[in-house]
Amino acid sequence: MATDTSTVVAAPVRDRVDVLVARWRAANEAIDVETKSLAIRLKRASQHLGRAFREDLAGLEMETWEAEVLLAVRQYGGLGVSAGRLMRDAQVTSGAITNRIARLERRGWARRDVDPVDRRQVIVSLTDEGVRAADRVIASKTEAEARLFAGLDSATRARMAADLRTLLLTLEGPARGEEDLA
């Protein structure tokens, strides 16, 4: 008598989203389970990243918006970027970016100067202390991300990054150049 030596494939481990989507499906059979699962997982992953970032910033005695503006200026070398560019990068109003820059100035992290080429423009740059604060944020954020993704091997991280690039290209289209990085 022959015995079956085929391997049994175990069902994947269910996560909280599987349970939630199963409830949705029970309430509404027409629900697109695949799309709903993807949307909820993306949102939950984003919430985990945001929470880790906020916790690390609390240790630096910094608000999220402060870190975001510091990093936005720092990515331009910290040497100067227009307030208008920061406004577009942060996707906030001109009043909001003006307020944020003023608060960074009060902390001694930023400086505003009139653009010598176009006196209608304000150029925002980081002070030496602002550069150090931005670099602390970068280090802290990188450590938090490494902790969150530590359970994933390199191939999984690369595959997920590639898949998310595909999603963002679908949602936003390709970057046109340096001016379109936000």
Q: Which residue has the tokens 């630096």?
A: 60
- The pLDDT assigned to 116 comes to 85
The gap between the terminal CA atoms of the chain, to the nearest Å, is 67
Amino acid at residue number 51: R
Q: What is the average per-residue pLDDT within 95-111?
A: 94
- The pLDDT assigned to 178 comes to 60
DSSP H or E segment with residue 168: helix 154-172
pLDDT tens digit string along 64-93?
A: 889 999 999 998 886 789 998 898 888 889
User: 45-167 architecture in CATH?
Assistant: Orthogonal Bundle (1.10)
Q: Which residues of 107-142 are buried (b: 16+ CB within 10 A; e: fewer)?
A: eebbeeeeeeeeeeebbbbbbeebbebbebbeebbe
From the list 124, 132, 74, 67, the residue with the least C-alpha distance to 101 is 124
- The pLDDT assigned to 182 comes to 47
Amino acid at residue number 150: A
- The pLDDT assigned to 119 comes to 85
Contacts 24+ apart (CB under 8 A), 45-49: 48/148, 49/144, 49/145, 49/148
Please state, in angstroms and rounded to a whole number, the distance separating the CA atoms of residues 160 and 154. 10
Structure confidence at residue 135 as a pLDDT band (50, 70, 90): very high
For residue 89, count other CB atoms closer than 10 A to its CB. 19
Structure confidence at residue 5 as a pLDDT band (50, 70, 90): low
Taking 60 as the threshold, does the pLDDT of residue 166 lie above it?
yes
Please state, in angstroms and rounded to a whole number, the distance separating the CA atoms of residues 118 and 148. 44
Report the DSSP beta bridge partners of residue 122.
114
Taking 50 as the threshold, does the pLDDT of residue 131 lie above it?
yes
CA dihedral 48, 50, 56, 62 (to 10 degrees): -160
